[in-house]
Amino acid sequence: MTVREPNPDPQQRRSAVWEAFEACTSLRYELSICAPRYVVEKSDDSFRRLRDLRDVVADGFSRDSNEYVTGRLRYDRAYQALRDAMRKDLGADA
């Protein structure tokens, strides 16, 4: 939402981005106590990349900016690694 708006109010952008990110924190903690260590490590990396992307968006970079594109690619790779680890844990990686 905020990435698509060309000139949102900076404070509104920052608030919206932080609010959207808030739910990820509790899910991260839940996963950290339920999943095997190799999944938690991938989860932590994915969370950090998402947090980096949150900061890029909160700072006002558009989805066409190099900062956003680079951050998104890093997050996508980390998230894929997390999904792969979770599938392995479930025995569904065949």
Where do the domains of the chain lie? 10-90
Asked whether the predicted pLDDT for residue 94 surpasses 60, the reply is no
- Between CA 37 and CA 30 the distance in angstroms is 13
- What is this structure's pTM? 0.80
Asked whether the predicted pLDDT for residue 24 surpasses 90, the reply is no
Query: Percentage of residues in the chain with pLDDT exceeding 70?
Result: 90
Q: Which contacts qualify for 16-20: CB closer than 8 Å, 24 or more apart?
A: 17/54, 17/57, 17/58, 18/54, 18/58, 20/54
Q: Which of 5-9, 22-26, 56-60 bottoms out in mean pLDDT, i.e. has the lowest?
A: 5-9
